Chain A
Amino acid sequence: MVRFLLRRIGLGIIVMWMVTVLVFGIFFLGGNEQSVARRLAGRNANPQTVENITKRLHLNKPLVVQYWDFLKQLVWHHNLGYSFYHGEPVSKIIKEAFPITLSLALGAAVIWLAIGILSGVASAVRRGSILDRTLTFLALFFYSMPTFVLGLLLLFLVYYQLAKRGIRIFPGSGYVPLTQDPLKWLESLVLPWLTLALVSAATYTRLTRGSLLEVLSEDYIRTARAKGLPERRVIFRHGLRSALTPVASQFGIDLGTLVGGAIVTETVFGLPGLGYTAVQSITNQDLPVIIGIVIIASAAVVVANILVDIFYAVLDPRVRLH
């Protein structure tokens, strides 16, 4: 198990290193060093200003040197650099945005797991019934629904229609920290949670249904039924327990991805989390910020992948050999 862990973590570190090379390559190979400085200097800047900015931000150094500086800062000092725009440390920007993304991701995750697993079980237990067909269609419907369409429709149908009638329950956009006002925090997140949860739950409904149906055809389920266990116990204790393994691994990876920023949901609802900040800094060509977010987001995915693998290895010792 220790060897498996070390190997898996080693691979994770290699992937992270490749990620840093990749983001650096994307942003600096595009012939961007001049365009960044020019953009910051403004439309009417003279060449001297552009030059000064280039120097100040070390944009004139060879790419390899810039990369090496960046990597050194990152690994040695845990420093992600400074925003080209307002000079703030990238780590500070990320620290401010992260709780917002985390609130969004965790809240939505609770809702979509509940909806997904319950509807998946209901579907599997009443296989072929009208309930099953309805749930299966709904799952496909929300699976096909683009996140931004659902978000805007919810804003229009729930927020705007209520606001028009003088009921202002949900804010149209923006975020209130939990520590500041728990109720307002909840209100600001209900619609984003619902959006993210509905589009994600569909995958879990389908996964739970398929997995549970497979498990329920196993011999040990027949044994459990034969020895007279109540059906509820057979399904939840014996069936669902093993059927949830693929669900758990999907969950780990989905959550890992979302913790790095729910780009679309945050943009639609104006929540200044990591995803929203990433889109903003891309529009502003604020390279250190976008590079920092990409690295943090990739790290979240890598860690989630490792956790999922460990989870599998604990459940099934054969996995460790591969």
Chain B
Amino acid sequence: MSMSGAITSEVGEFLPDAGGELTPEAAAKIEGRSTWQLAWRKLRKDRAAVISAGVIVLIVLMAIFAPVFASITGHGVNQQFRTTGLNGFGQPVGPNGTFALGTDDLGRDILVRIAYGARISLLVGVVATLATVALGAVLGLIAGYFSGIADSIIARLIDLVLSLPFLLFAISLVSVSHPGLFIVIIVIAVFGWAAVARIVRGQVLSIREKEYVEAARSLGASSWRIMFVDILPNVLTQLIVYATLLIPVTIVLEATLSFLGLGIPPPTADWGQMISESETVYQQAWWFLVFPGAALLITTLAFNILGDGVRDALDPRLERL
């Protein structure tokens, strides 16, 4: 698949009333549209993608205003309600007037914890994705542009990282470090960059032979300038598509690490960890499993649908198959 990047941007709208010749007024109405404008128009017409974007906005708002959930309910995120939040047998209580989504095994409010948990999921999802894509893009650019020894080393590294059992290495690396947000992000980037680098490298190999790169070189542009000013914009659409689809993957990875007890340490509210804590009591307290699970699923599903929409909008060659 070759992708020469910027798509012809001077596409005017067909004007049916213009007849054979354009009047000056009609001609003035024809405006050039960039790739981004075209993609945006296409994306806005994709109903599933628009709904998903709306859902994502709601989740982001929930994360930002998590303290509001706490103050309205009067339940702190780590506050344990041993008398109202647990029943006579010390079991969690189901959804009721006080606890809209029930409580967990320690008598904490699940709604408030889900709202706070969204912060971790979104933060890791976005930051780890950006780190992964940035690392992959830079290494891919270097490998593809310079070739020779740099390319050999990076290409071998790509091969190596791609043939590692990802999750096994991730839990190994996390287990020898201090658990927390930072190491989770690092681990995702360290093992995730190779796929991005491979795509970028392949693209750069063909782009660097293009006339405009030769022109830039003749004008005396430095290698770094050519790489980042002339070549990078042409792989940008692909990077954006990849990044959008990578966000849900990293969100699930973070949740999986936390589920295995190797992610965000307690008592920080985290969806994966909540699901893991529910394992011992969900048979009596389904809400403890179902609500955090639903939060996670809705988030990843929304990002995946939006990602598909972004891909269709940005890459006109991929006709919606």
A binds B: yes
A140 and B275 form a contact (CB under 8 A): no
A260 and B300 form a contact (CB under 8 A): no
- Measured in the bound complex, the distance between the Cα atoms of B263 and A146 in whole Å is 15
B168 and A294 form a contact (CB under 8 A): yes
Interface status of A261 (Cβ within 8 A of chain B): yes
Which bucket holds chain A's interface residue count?
Answer: 35 or more
Looking across the interface, which residue of chain A has its beta carbon closest to that of B166?
A257
Task: Output the residue of A127, A143, A300 with the most chain B CB within 10 A.
Answer: A143
Determine the main DSSP class of B at the interface with A. helix
Interface status of B172 (Cβ within 8 A of chain A): yes
B256 and A302 form a contact (CB under 8 A): no
Contacts of B321 in A (CB 8 A): 127, 209-210, 213-214
Chain B proximity mask over A286-315: 1 for CB below 8 Å, otherwise 0: 000010011001101110010000000000
Looking across the interface, which residue of chain A has its beta carbon closest to that of B164?
A298
Contacts of A18 in B (CB 8 A): 160
Chain B residue total in the interface (Cβ 8 A) = 44
B167 and A263 form a contact (CB under 8 A): yes
Contacts of B163 in A (CB 8 A): 15, 19, 298, 301-302, 305
User: Given the interface contacts A156-B282, A156-B283, does A144 sit within 8 Å of B248 by beta carbon?
Assistant: yes
A1-48 CB contacts (< 8 Å) to partner B: 11, 14-15, 18-19, 22-23, 26-27, 30, 32
Contacts of B160 in A (CB 8 A): 15, 18-19, 22
B256 and A146 form a contact (CB under 8 A): yes
Looking across the interface, which residue of chain B has its beta carbon closest to that of A133?
B48
Interface status of B67 (Cβ within 8 A of chain A): no
Interface status of B230 (Cβ within 8 A of chain A): no
User: Given the interface contacts A14-B156, A214-B321, does A146 sit within 8 Å of B177 by beta carbon?
Assistant: no
Interface status of A83 (Cβ within 8 A of chain B): no
A298 and B283 form a contact (CB under 8 A): no
Interface status of A152 (Cβ within 8 A of chain B): yes
- Measured in the bound complex, the distance between the Cα atoms of B171 and A100 in whole Å is 21
Which of A19, A30, A290 meets B164, CB within 8 Å?
A19
Chain A proximity mask over B132-160: 1 for CB below 8 Å, otherwise 0: 00000000000000000000000010011
User: Given the interface contacts A146-B256, A148-B256, does A140 sit within 8 Å of B159 by beta carbon?
Assistant: no
B297 and A278 form a contact (CB under 8 A): no
Contacts of B289 in A (CB 8 A): 152-153, 156
- Measured in the bound complex, the distance between the Cα atoms of B298 and A23 in whole Å is 36
Contacts of B164 in A (CB 8 A): 19, 22, 298, 301
Chain B proximity mask over A190-233: 1 for CB below 8 Å, otherwise 0: 00000000000000000001100110000000000000000000
Looking across the interface, which residue of chain A has its beta carbon closest to that of B171?
A282
Contacts of B168 in A (CB 8 A): 260-261, 263, 275, 278, 293-294, 297
Chain A proximity mask over B260-283: 1 for CB below 8 Å, otherwise 0: 111000000000100110110011
A214 CB → nearest B CB, Å: 7
B165 and A298 form a contact (CB under 8 A): yes
Interface status of B315 (Cβ within 8 A of chain A): no
A161 CB → nearest B CB, Å: 10
Which of B156, B169, B293 meets A153, CB within 8 Å?
B293
Chain A proximity mask over B282-321: 1 for CB below 8 Å, otherwise 0: 1100100110010011001101110010000000000001
A26 and B173 form a contact (CB under 8 A): yes
Contacts of B166 in A (CB 8 A): 257
Contacts of A27 in B (CB 8 A): 172, 176
Contacts of B175 in A (CB 8 A): 282-283, 285
Contacts of A302 in B (CB 8 A): 163
Contacts of A301 in B (CB 8 A): 163-165
B301 and A260 form a contact (CB under 8 A): no
User: Given the interface contacts A144-B297, A257-B165, does A160 sit within 8 Å of B159 by beta carbon?
Assistant: no
Interface status of B43 (Cβ within 8 A of chain A): no
- Measured in the bound complex, the distance between the Cα atoms of B298 and A144 in whole Å is 8
A144 and B172 form a contact (CB under 8 A): no
Interface status of B255 (Cβ within 8 A of chain A): yes
Interface status of A85 (Cβ within 8 A of chain B): no
Contacts of B260 in A (CB 8 A): 263-264, 267, 279
B296 and A152 form a contact (CB under 8 A): no
Contacts of A278 in B (CB 8 A): 168, 171
A255 CB → nearest B CB, Å: 12
- Measured in the bound complex, the distance between the Cα atoms of B282 and A148 in whole Å is 14
B286 and A156 form a contact (CB under 8 A): yes
Looking across the interface, which residue of chain A has its beta carbon closest to that of B282?
A156
Interface status of B114 (Cβ within 8 A of chain A): no
Interface status of B252 (Cβ within 8 A of chain A): yes
Task: Output the residue of B163, B282, B297 with the most chain A CB within 10 A.
Answer: B163
Interface status of A119 (Cβ within 8 A of chain B): no
A145 CB → nearest B CB, Å: 6
Interface status of A147 (Cβ within 8 A of chain B): yes
- Measured in the bound complex, the distance between the Cα atoms of B260 and A146 in whole Å is 13
Looking across the interface, which residue of chain A has its beta carbon closest to that of B252?
A146
Known: A141-B301, A257-B166, A278-B171. 9 other contacts (CB 8 A): A11-B159, A15-B163, A147-B256, A148-B256, A148-B275, A153-B293, A257-B165, A261-B165, A264-B256
Q: Which 3 pairs from chain A and chain B are nearest by CB? A: A30-B176, A144-B301, A144-B300
Q: List 8 A-B contacts (CB under 8 A).
A: A14-B156, A146-B259, A146-B300, A260-B168, A264-B256, A282-B171, A282-B262, A293-B168
Residues of chain A whose beta carbon lies under 8 Å from any beta carbon of chain B? 11, 14-15, 18-19, 22-23, 26-27, 30, 32, 127, 140-141, 143-149, 152-153, 156, 160, 209-210, 213-214, 257, 260-261, 263-264, 267, 275, 278-279, 282-283, 285, 290, 293-294, 297-298, 300-302, 305
